[in-house]
Each structure stands twice: as C-alpha cells, then as structure tokens.
Copies of this chain bind each other. A is one copy, B any other.
Amino acid sequence: MLVNKFEKDYLVVAQNASGRNMNVPLYRFKGSKPGPKVYIQSSIHGAEVQGNVVIYHLINTLKTTPICGEVTLVPNCNPVGTNIKAGEYTLGRFDPINGTNWNRGYYFDEALVERFVDTVDDEEPLEKVKSRFRKVLKQKIDEKLQETWGLGLAQQLNLKLQQLAFDADIVIDLHNGPVSTRHIYVPEYAKDSAKLFNIPHVILIPNTFAGALDEATFCHWWTLQNLLRAKRNSDINVDVEAFTLEMGSQEVISFDEGRYDADSILCYLGAKNCLESNTYFPKSMRRVAVTLDNYKILYTRQGGIVDYLAAPGDQVKKGQALARVLNVDELENDRASQVIEAPCDLIPILHFPSASVLSGTQLYKCFTDYFELTE
C-alpha cells in the first residue's frame, strides 16, 4: 500500500526535428499531512546523470516513507542534452547549436520584486504575500513563454521547469562535475543548512543572479525578504531554500553512491520537517566552505597532455604539484614535462575530464581561503 499519494505525469519541453514532442517525466508524492513543497530535478546538463539514480532511490524511499507536504521529482529534465552524442561522450553542457549553457536561461527580475513589494501592505499575512508572489512570478514567466517572437530552446526549457520549481519551498538541482568530488552550492543566508547534507565541500553564494535554477529561486525570495524586512522593519523569514548539489563525476553512475546521496537529501528533508517521522540524520563529518569569490579556476597556460596528480578533495599546499603536462613535441629535451604547482594552499574540487588540453583550459576548480564549518 502506498503511504503517500503518488502521480506520474509528463511535461512537454521541446519538439525535435522529427516533429516529435520531447517530454520529461514528473513524479509527485503528496503526504496526508501538510508540510513544505519540495522540488528536485536532475540532469539539466545531459552528461550529469547520477542525479537520476538519486531520484530513483528517493522514489523507492518515498513509496514507503510517509511525508508531510509534497515532493516533486523531475529526473532527466533535459531530453535534448541527454541525447546529443559526439563521439562516445554526451555533449550535455550546452546547446550544441549555439553554445548556450542549459543552466543559464532561468528568469530573475529584481525590478519585478520591487514592484511587487510596493503592492504589499503592512497587514498582509506572510503566507498570502508568498502565495501572491508565486502567482505574479509564474504569470510573468507565462507571458515570456507566449512572446510573439518566441524564445530560444534552452530558455524555453528552463522557464517551463522554473514554473514547476517556483511553487516549492525547497528546490534541489542535482548536478555532477567533470571529474569531481562532492560539493554543494548554498546561498549565504541558508548557510546553516549546509550541515544537514552529507557533503564535505560547501560553496557559499551571494544574492547575485547568473542564470542558474538555484539562483533564480533564492534571488527572488532573498530579495523579497530583504525588501519586506526593510519595509516592515521586522525579522521576516520567507523560508525558501535552494541548492545545487554536485555529486561526483559526470558520464558515470553508481547505484551505491546514489543511495548515499539520496540519504543525504533525506537528512536535509527530515530536518526541514518533510518526513512524518524522521530517521535520517546527517553524518558527523568535517565540512569546509568557501565564499564564491574564493572558488577559483586554474587555467592552463600551455597545451599538452596532462597527468592529474592531485585528486579532487585532496588538501594541497602552495607549491605542491597539481598536474604534470607532457609536451609531445619536445619529448627529447627538458621542456618535455612540466609541473603545474598550486599557487596557494587549496583543495581541488574538480578537474578537466580529458588528458588533452589546449592553453586556456579549466584545469582545476579549487577552494582557496577555505574554512571549516563548525557543527
């Protein structure tokens, strides 16, 4: 017997060159008790497929675990990106036609929030404000989707997903890095929530919009909260959180690792009162964090083939070797092999997934000036 109400649906997000609709499955669980609305999607970048395994495990758990509120799960949310191959790999990070990153076309409009706050009077209860705000924003996205001149494919896809996500109090976007260790993007105001996941590396991001789903969610709510606080001079909390989880490397899946990350998400959901009776608790572990401006990219200066010596998650000291580059054109002399050293103390979080690099390649992304999150 199902412990929650369950429905499955499909969302049409595109039409391919054969004139066929491309749709995305939606799985929706509703508890019998009230509680937060949760929205979880995976694989907006088509080669980052491990989130689908996580959602598979979450579905299995939610079949037997009574929830409060509602959980919507949208696996494989980008059927275009998932299915573009070039060679053996998946060209999933951007639209192969125009280079548009599939995770940069969500909508945020600061002016819209400002105009909305002008319509809020001092007496309106917060829940009603939130509900009206959702309606206004979704109305605005509807209008954009109906524009006479149309919209680009990535933006259409993003806005259709954002319509669903904006109903939620909790939004989790499941990603992977190239060759990567687990890390999570957390808005600075929700820093305390970082400790509710079993993820050792935390990036704290400011109220700045760069196009991604987590930002498109929390920038709206964070801005609303700030304006309401100023207006009412009180410590209002809109209670909406959004995260991007990066759960290891792209192009691979593991059912076992997926169980770990599903449990990690259930720890967070349990703490947020999404489960009728919570049995998931975050692990005691060392968690280190950086502010976004200290999450740095090391680019190559030379082309060549790279032996990645530092593994994602390693603690590396300034001057230690990160990588060794072979120059096949100079194999007989002392320019044959060159070591790239850490420019400061750092933790490499991810590295480029191919040995072959041109100059100007994102070799490593690194935590610098990182600090420990206390429990």
- Shortest beta-carbon distance from A353 to chain B in Å: 5
**Known contacts A94-B98, A99-B94, A99-B99, A303 near B19 by CB under 8 Å:** yes
**Which candidate, A111-119, A127-135, A190-198, A320-328, is the interface stretch facing chain B?**
A320-328
**Copies, count:** 4
In the complex, what residue of chain B is closest to A333 when comparing beta carbons? B8
**Contact for A149 among B253, B297, B356, CB less than 8 A:** B297
The A interface is mostly helix, strand or loop, or mixed, namely loop
In the complex, whether A25 has a CB less than 8 A from a CB of chain B is: yes
A98: contacting residue among B17, B25, B93, CB under 8 A: B93
A234 at interface (Cβ–Cβ under 8 A)?
no
Name the residue on B nearest A330 (C-beta): B19
Judge whether A34 is part of the interface by a CB distance below 8 angstroms.
no
Enumerate A92-139 residues with CB–CB distance to B below 8 Å.
92-101
Distance from A356 Cβ to chain B, minimum over Cβ atoms (Å):
4
A354 touches B83 (CB 8 A): no
Could you say which residues of chain B place their CB within 8 Å of the CB of A93?
87, 98-99
User: Which residue from chain B places its CB closest to the CB of A154 in the assembled complex?
Assistant: B360
Question: Given the interface contacts A99-B101, A251-B353, A251-B354, does A329 sit within 8 Å of B150 by beta carbon?
Answer: no
Interface residues on A, range: 35 or more
Residue interface bits A31-68, CB-to-B below 8 A is 1, else 0: 00000000000010011010011011001000100000
Task: Please tell me if the beta carbons of A150 and B332 are within 8 angstroms of each other in the complex.
Answer: no
The answer to the question of A143 belonging to the interface, with a C-beta cut-off of 8 Å to chain B, is no
Q: List 20 A-B contacts (CB under 8 A).
A: A14-B303, A14-B358, A17-B356, A25-B329, A52-B326, A53-B307, A56-B326, A88-B98, A88-B353, A94-B98, A99-B100, A149-B343, A150-B299, A150-B301, A152-B299, A152-B362, A156-B360, A251-B354, A253-B305, A255-B307
Task: Report A's interface with B, CB cutoff 8 A.
Answer: 6, 8, 14-20, 25, 27, 43, 46-47, 49, 52-53, 55-56, 59, 63, 73, 75-76, 79-80, 82-101, 148-157, 178, 251-255, 296-307, 324, 326-332, 336-337, 343, 352-362
